[in-house]
Amino acid sequence: MHHSGIYTKVQEVIDLDSRYYLVGGDYPRCSKCMIPVCPWSTEVLSQLDPAHRNRFPAVLTTQLALDRKCVTMLKPRTAGNRSSYLQQALEEWFETVHANEILSHLDEMKGVITSTYGRILKLDSTKKLRGHSCADTATWMTNVSNECGQVLNCVLTTGEGAGLEDLCQGIVKRYQDAGEPEPDVIYVDRDGCSETGAPPVLVWFRPWKTKVRLDIFHFMRRFTTGLTTEHHPLYGTFCSKLSGCIFEWDQDDICRLKEAKRSELKKKHAGHALTEAQVLANISSSELARHCKRRTRGVEETRSLIQGLLESMWELTDTSGLRLINPESMERVWETQQKHLTCIQDPPGLDLYTKIGSGLQKGDKVLDVFRCGRGSSSVESFHRHQCTFIPGK
């Protein structure tokens, strides 16, 4: 063997708590056949005595290498057992350590959670468990969050609305103890108004006099009971137009977005004159929601627009003759929903949008990015997470 230069390949070695790399300084070559040999190949290492060979820190393969401390953990494996058993044992150990580490910070975490407040609260319930086997068990979960998506408290109950007074009074006490003013508005999925007096929600949150509003998503969902089926080809069109009857876009934000989109398209398609229709066609719904604010239209305008929408789509059918609207059901739904038009309007003087970040570059324009605090539907995503980490069918 004689020297033939520097071995250029660096070998990555996986250790228990880190990774390191082996660098071969010499690249030996056979003096007879002139074939280069890897400096840590089996042919080279086998020429060493066991004492020197065991000083080599890792067991190498073609692509990766494993430190000898990791290999030692595999030796107690008996015949018939595979390395996957060690993997499972390590994963179980990591989970236990992680859980114990979290428990050691339990008081700190409780302090952080109970120090969370908000000017817009959202109260929403969902049914988690279903079936005859779930009778008399905690089948409903209710969460209270703020405009930032932070959960102030949650509870599991045997029925919708059951036992929520303690939950709400606990939040009221939290605000009072911290000297925090009561929130500006509370969004709910139901029980947002009452013809006989204060809404039931304010009875739970007494003595607060906060405005209570019905989540518009749930308001719109109630119209689906007046349709023949949600799988009708015109269902998406109906929902989109219904949303347009309730909301209107801020025109200043729309103009800024169109200017930015026009600038962006000019860079991509230099030399082409863009029409207004082409610019609008390239603005996605996600861009509208991110850069433009919306506001409710008011009770009477909303009533008139929804009435016009129902009249325009009352007789529409699909190609098979199936009507979109069930007349008898929709008449009952619309009669009931007109009572809630006041409940879905934005509270006067309250800014529901928060500017986040330093803006987003689009073309040669910088657009503001907004987060909307309206409605309680944002709690629905947390419900999905809860269903994964709370046991139950």
Quickly count: other Cβ atoms within 10 Å of residue 280's Cβ.
12
pLDDT by residue (tens digit) across 178-223?
999 999 999 998 877 777 667 888 888 989 999 999 999 999 999 9
Residue in this structure with the two tokens 């179980």, named with its chain if needed: 92
Q: Following CA atoms 196, 199, 203, 205 in sequence, which dihedral angle do they give, to the nearest 10 degrees?
A: -160
Please tell me whether residues 153 and 195 are part of one structural domain: yes
Reported as half-sphere exposure (CB side, CA atoms, 13 A), residue 330 has a value of 19
Is 288 within 8 Å of 249 (Cβ atoms)? yes
- The two beta strands, 151-157 and 140-145, are antiparallel
Count of domains observed in the chain: 3
Identify whether 54 is part of a domain.
Answer: yes
Q: What pLDDT is recorded for position 388?
A: 67
- The two beta strands, 10-14 and 65-67, are parallel
Lowest mean pLDDT among 53-57, 192-196, 240-244, 310-314: 192-196
Separation CA 120–CA 375 (nearest Å): 9
The residue-averaged pLDDT of 217-232 equals: 93
Residue in this structure with the two tokens 């009221």, named with its chain if needed: 172
Q: What share of the chain is helix, strand, coil (3-state, %, to 5)?
A: 40, 20, 40
Please tell me whether residues 152 and 69 are part of one structural domain: no
Please tell me whether residues 54 and 68 are part of one structural domain: yes
The residue-averaged pLDDT of 281-285 equals: 91
Is 28 within 8 Å of 39 (Cβ atoms)? yes
Domain boundary among 78, 110, 139: 78
Please tell me whether residues 248 and 354 are part of one structural domain: yes
Please tell me whether residues 324 and 353 are part of one structural domain: yes
Closest CA to 96 of 351, 113, 88: 88
Q: How far is CA 270 from the centre of its chain?
A: 38
Please tell me whether residues 12 and 36 are part of one structural domain: yes
Identify whether 115 is part of a domain.
Answer: no
Contacts of 209 (CB under 8 A, 6+ apart): 182, 202
pLDDT by residue (tens digit) across 328-376?
999 999 999 999 999 999 999 999 999 987 788 888 889 999 999 998 8
Confidence of residue 129 (pLDDT cuts 50, 70, 90): low
pTM for the model? 0.70
DSSP state for residue 24 in the 8-state scheme: -
Q: Where are the alpha helices (DSSP H) in the chain?
A: 42-45, 50-53, 68-74, 83-104, 106-113, 164-178, 200-204, 216-221, 235-246, 251-268, 276-281, 285-291, 299-313, 327-337, 379-389
Confidence of residue 308 (pLDDT cuts 50, 70, 90): very high
Mean of per-residue pLDDT scores for the chain: 84
Identify whether 335 is part of a domain.
Answer: yes
Contacts of 162 (CB under 8 A, 6+ apart): 140
131: pLDDT strictly greater than 60: no
The residue-averaged pLDDT of 313-324 equals: 94
Please tell me whether residues 171 and 266 are part of one structural domain: no
Identify whether 103 is part of a domain.
Answer: no
Cα–Cα distances in angstroms (integers) from residue 269 to residues 238, 262, 264, 274, 361, in the given order: 35, 10, 9, 9, 18
Q: What pLDDT is recorded for position 304?
A: 97
Please tell me whether residues 221 and 205 are part of one structural domain: no
Residue in this structure with the two tokens 């405009």, named with its chain if needed: 147
6: pLDDT strictly greater than 60: yes
Is 279 within 8 Å of 261 (Cβ atoms)? yes
Q: What pLDDT is recorded for position 196?
A: 67
Identify whether 314 is part of a domain.
Answer: yes
Q: What are phi and psi of 13, to 5 degrees?
A: -120, 130
Q: What's the burial of 257, exposed, middle or buried (CB within 10 Å: 0-12/13-18/19+)?
A: buried
280: pLDDT strictly greater than 80: yes
Domain boundary among 19, 48, 78: 78
Which residue range is the domain that position 211 belongs to?
Answer: 128-215+381-389
Identify whether 94 is part of a domain.
Answer: no
Separation CA 44–CA 285 (nearest Å): 65
Is 293 within 8 Å of 350 (Cβ atoms)? no
Please tell me whether residues 228 and 360 are part of one structural domain: yes
Identify whether 64 is part of a domain.
Answer: yes
Please tell me whether residues 197 and 224 are part of one structural domain: no
Please tell me whether residues 203 and 334 are part of one structural domain: no
Q: What are phi and psi of 28, to 5 degrees?
A: -75, 150
Identify whether 101 is part of a domain.
Answer: no
Is 127 within 8 Å of 100 (Cβ atoms)? no
Confidence of residue 130 (pLDDT cuts 50, 70, 90): low
Closest CA to 324 of 312, 332, 338, 339: 312
Cα angle for residues 268, 272, 276 (degrees, 5° grid): 95
Residue in this structure with the two tokens 């219904």, named with its chain if needed: 242
Please tell me whether residues 6 and 39 are part of one structural domain: yes
The residue-averaged pLDDT of 12-22 equals: 79
